Amino acid sequence: MVADRAGTSIATVSLVVNGKDRGRVSAPIAERVRAAVDELGYVVDHAASSLARGSGDLVVLIAPDLSNPFFAEVIRGVRDTVGDRFQLVLSVTERGQQPATADVRRFERLRPAGILVDAPASGEDLVASVPVVQLDAPGGPDAVNYDLSPGVQELVAHLAGLGHRRIGYLDGTSRAATFAVRRELLHDAARAADVAVSPVDARADLTVDAAAQVAAATLDAWLEDGVTAVVAAADTLAYGVLRAAAANGVAIPGQLAVAGFDDLPSSSVTAPALTSVALPGADLGRAAALRLLATLDGTAAEVPALPTRLVARASTTG
């Protein structure tokens, strides 16, 4: 340890550097240490510090593949909340994969203070030797979730109000539990509103390209089945429907109304602008981070589910 060139012991330096010098180290000595630290550009070694301490100042956030811009919002919320107290590091899964137990295990090695897992594969048992908080993981323990019901009900009421009696559903291939919930809630709401959901099965990876391909292959089936509106499980999927419809001369919303989930920033500039159930990503990130911090402080805070609502735009209203 170079900084004992301040003429003091290693232990004293450690105390000062970690701000534990209150009433343990005299002011002039602490000052000398700080000066030496500055001069030498010293920075405490994370590995050694974690080892000695038992755990470090890292918070890791494991998120699905970022091709869905929704996660950028979530990350921003986490980052703003975790702040300076911890160092946030991110990990993303491979394209189309959801975070799973193996990912948590791999990051446990880093001895983080805690782990955040966004949209994990359902049915995984995400326990670790450090606190874990899940995001958007309906049914999971220690999860912070959206309350999707109001948004979905608004959406169905909106479509029913516009006269749609039969809707198609473009699902994601994702194994995240939230997608199962979206589908179910939509079916429930439709039943209650006396709207039929077409049995035509369509599902795609969460990218515009993949969705456009699936939508192109499914458009005819939907129309033949009498579908007048398609709900996609995510905005990126809905973009694919928009693209496929444009390519095939299907008028939106004239022949087919389209809606999604997420309300991404770009959903206001699509052709036409997209109706979507807004899922405030940054809020989710903030809430989860807050919950993790509370757990670390020993003040386990229950976090209520986050509200969702419908944002109606031209892709349904014309």
Partner DNA sequence: CTGAAAGCGCTTACAG
Q: With beta carbons less than 8 A apart as the criterion, state whether 59 and 292 touch.
A: yes
Residue that is written with structure tokens 């019901």 in the block: 149
Of 10, 40, 192, 301, the residue at the interface with DNA (CB under 7 A) is 10
- Closer residue to a second copy in complex, CB, 273/288: 273
Give which of 318, 309, 276, 282 is closest to 81, Cα–Cα.
Answer: 282
Give one DSSP letter per residue of 125-145, joined into a string: ----SS-EEEES-TT-TTEE-
Verify binding: residue 15, DNA, rule CB under 7 A: yes
**Taking the complex as a whole, how short is the minimal distance between the CB of residue 31 and a second copy, in angstroms?**
23
CB of 55 to a second copy, least distance (A): 9
Which tokens in the block code for residue 267?
A: 């959903």
Judged by CB under 7 A, which of 5, 19, 20, 238 binds DNA? 20
Cβ proximity to DNA: between 24 and 191 the closer is: 24
How many Cβ atoms are within 10 Å of 24's Cβ, its own excluded?
Answer: 11
3-state secondary structure 162-214: CCCCEEEEEEECCCEHHHHHHHHHHHHHHHHCCCEECCCCEEECCCHHHHHHH
d(Cα 104, Cα 125) in Å, to the nearest integer? 10
Q: Which residues bind a second copy (CB under 8 A)?
A: 43-48, 50-51, 56, 60, 65-67, 69, 71-73, 75-76, 79-80, 87-92, 94-95, 105-106, 108-111, 207-209, 236, 239, 242-243, 246, 265-266, 268-273
103 binds, among DNA, a second copy, none (CB under 5 to 8 A by kind): none
> What x/- string results for residues 30 through 59 when contact with DNA is judged by CB under 7 A?
------------x-xx--xx-xxxx-----
Q: Does 248 bind DNA (CB under 7 A)?
A: no
Instruction: Catalog residues that contact DNA under the rule CB under 7 A.
Output: 1, 8-12, 14-15, 17-18, 20, 23-26, 29, 42, 44-45, 48-49, 51-54
